[in-house]
Structure 1
Amino acid sequence: MKYKYDVFISYSRRDYVDENYNVIPGNAIAEIQNVFDENGITYWFDKDGIYSGQEFIEIITGAIAESKMLIFISSKHSNESIWTAGEIFEALDGEKAIIPVKIDNCQYNKKFKLLIRPLDYIDYQENPQNALKDLLRAINKVKEDIAQKQREEEKLRQEKEAEAKKEKIKEEISILAKDCQRLTLQQIDVVNQIFEKQTYIGNTTKICPICDKEVLISSNFCSRCGWTFPILYYIDGNDTYQLDEKQLSVARTNWRSINMVSELQTIKSNLEIENQRLQRSLLQATEDCNSMNENLKKE
């Protein structure tokens, strides 16, 4: 939610103006407003007190909803006011943070005493300057907590949107895959008809462009090198199907490498056989030589 105000100020006008509706010099509410103005704290404040009846209620509830927190200026007059009581209940119902600021020693209104008594309050009467500093720290803390919560909610919202988008894409992929499968089966059926007609007119084989092996016209891959034929390869009896030259070059290089390894293995095997034959011949020659030496000694 985007907030219009940082603070909603809940107070009694009797603490702000005198009987002649003149602002009381140096009153706590005016001092708090001055500090808010100096520190960029936005706030809603019923300065004129001209609202009444249903119109007033709608304006108040709307302003509280648009504020991040409520500052309750606790005094004898505000605790006797039905309006401040209603404002506090409205803030509590909207799960707003409430910061009580006591400007006198009056007890909280019994109607909401149990609800806000556990809250930490700021004692303005004892030391106004320190109280204003404490109030600013409390407000900034609530603002940061709300900002952090909003960041977390935004992150969660983005994650949910991303997940929902992924699920939608998965559904689209599934639909496209089924369409592709259907079209592929149709294509294969047409190609098989072509192969049948080619076979009928005598075109029964095709040449693998990788290893030059002759295979049946209907073969899907080469039984020698394993190269997979494009589905429309050689369908008209001529090598007119445009192949990817880069793909062909890589496949041919791989095939030559495989053949070279095979040839080297064959050469190695033949050399090992020849080596064994030579060793046997050498052994036989050695035995013959020893036998001749023995015969010479006897003679």
Structure 2
Amino acid sequence: MTARLHKDWKSVPDEVRGCAAALGNFDGVHRGHAHLVRTLHSARPDLPLAVVAFEPHPGELFRPTEPPFRLTLSAERLAALSALGVKHVFQIRFDEAFSHMPAERFAEDVLSEALGLKHVACGADFCFGFKRSGNAEFLAERCGELNMGFIAVSALTDEAGPYSSTRIRKLLKAGQPERAAEELGRLWSVHGVVQHGAKRGRLLGFPTANIALGRHLEPARGVYAVTVRLTNGSAYAGVANIGIRPTIDDGLESRLEVHLFDYEGDLYGQEVSVALHRMLRPEKRFDGLDALRQQITRDADEARQVIDQERGSL
């Protein structure tokens, strides 16, 4: 069941007050985030499980000129949190005005008065409020004064240190989606609407669905074995290129182009999800379309093998 999404923290229905809520950005909803949510639920299994998150990510407001870095957008985050058993997601609009809210006001006006939370959890390094003036220690004291329970949850770690969205971004940028999947607990996906392209893929014998990366992080440019899930729930193996298509386009805008195996139909305008299994090779320029066509054929064969092997190991 999908969690209920509440976008206006100032008008939360009375019937959803009284939750236990985890606080954070939850970009990626990785294993560390799952640990936070599950620890909260174990502490207060008697209360509806909720999350307080922010949209857009504060980094998008404070660093608008930086390249997109999001692992998950709002709809993807909601689905991932729902899979963890979260019943309510309070998605607070993080704009210029909200960024100036003092930590004291956030605890009292938002968490206590508006949302009516009974228990709050956050990571030990969580900071909030104007100029990051609030932290877990402050929140523990203030929650006690406001008659809310509180728990600071230590980060989930492995031999490399704490699980984090930053770690996963580095893995994707290094062309290691299989390692990113281990830390996410699922394959990393790009969600978007299929757009019209130059249709050069048809000329090569490999028609592609074109999807803008938008606010998603751009992983390492290259060719990937992928699974594409359509809006009707059906899934197809495929091969995808992420990059600027140097042989045929020389464009500056990086995009995702994916060829679906054994699919016939019109995908234009559909919202699809493209999950990255493994990077097959970096993007490169070829000496003409024939050389490119031959390489795409080899890429497609290798992608089929990768997907078949993974399916066979399940």
Same fold (TM over 0.5): no
Structure with higher RCO (Cα < 8 A, 6+ apart): 2
Greater strand fraction, Structure 1 or Structure 2: 2
Q: TM-score, normalised by structure 2?
A: 0.21
